[in-house]
Amino acid sequence: SLVGAPKIFQAVCRDMIFPSLKYFSAGSGKSDEPHRAYFLTYFIAVLFTGIGQLNHVAPIISNFFLMTYALVNYSCFDASLAKASGWRPAFRYYNKWLALAGALLCVGIMFIINWYTALITLVISGGIFLYVRTTKPEVNWGSSVEAHTYRRALDATLKLEGVQEHVKNFRPQMLVLTGNPVSRPALVDLGSLVSHGYSLMICGHVILDNPLVNIKISDQKENGEAWLKKRNAKAFYQTIVAPTVRHGTIALLQVSNDECSRRSVLAYRPEI
């Protein structure tokens, strides 16, 4: 633990999950040894050893180890449940339900060892989770949460294929030709008032250019999506390259008028 823990701590600091701990992300030498993390680990070890009562220290250490094992087991179970394409366990006898049982068993043993230290461990772990969830560090982990979201969206979309239309469930699916949404905020607001966040709304932007030429529109799309999010407009931003507005509008209608949004409404404010 005195050797492995500093290396893990160094990796966590480099992920910038906790920016205030960036100081411990530095490495030394060709092997990139985390000397600063070594000193911190040594100080913590001396601090707990100085208590002089191993019977008081052992339950705390054991509970944190068991919490780590429980989280690893649950992560394996959750990744299997989400059916993430990047999760391919090589262990021959791996089973997701066995991983869940291992996680529950670790938590149970924590309470058997010492119930109040187990509660303290859970509170600290929960506090760290809430901190990371609240601060939302700019890292892309490819988490199982994203895999669950995609799977639920896909399942719901497939279920809509067999749903028959009924007037009681009518919801207008709006294609709003805003162009760059920053230039027509009133039209975006009008579409938001009609859809009210409960209907599909697409802000279409026809970029006049030759569609056969390689045009970089990723920056434009990112800026438009960021603006819609800042304005709290629940809409998708769709860009398309076409030689004329007419051709681009027809292409947007064909793209947006799929099987899940057959009841489309086109909104456009002509230039005066």
Weakly modelled stretches of the chain, pLDDT under 50: 259-260, 272
Answer yes or no: are the C-beta atoms of 69 and 105 closer than 8 Å: no
Please indicate, yes or no, whether residues 77 and 34 belong to a single structural domain of this protein: yes
Please count the residues of the chain.
272
Interval 80-89: pLDDT, tens: 888 877 788 8
Question: Within this chain, do residues 115 and 232 fall inside the same structural domain, yes or no?
Answer: no
Do 176 and 111 share a domain, yes or no? no
Q: Are 257 and 181 part of one and the same domain?
A: yes
Say if residue 180 is in the same domain as residue 121.
no
Quote the DSSP letter at residue 164. P
Judge whether 52 lies within some domain: yes
The two three-digit tokens of residue 78, written as one number: 């959750």
Number of structural domains (the chain) is 2
Q: Is 87 part of a structural domain of the chain?
A: yes
DSSP 208: E
* Contact present, 156 and 246 (Cβ < 8 Å): no
CB 161 within 8 A of CB 258: no
**pTM (2 decimals)?**
0.69
DSSP state of 1: -
pLDDT value of residue 74: 92
The residue segments making up the domain with residue 175 are 170-268
State how beta strands 173-177 and 264-268 pair: parallel
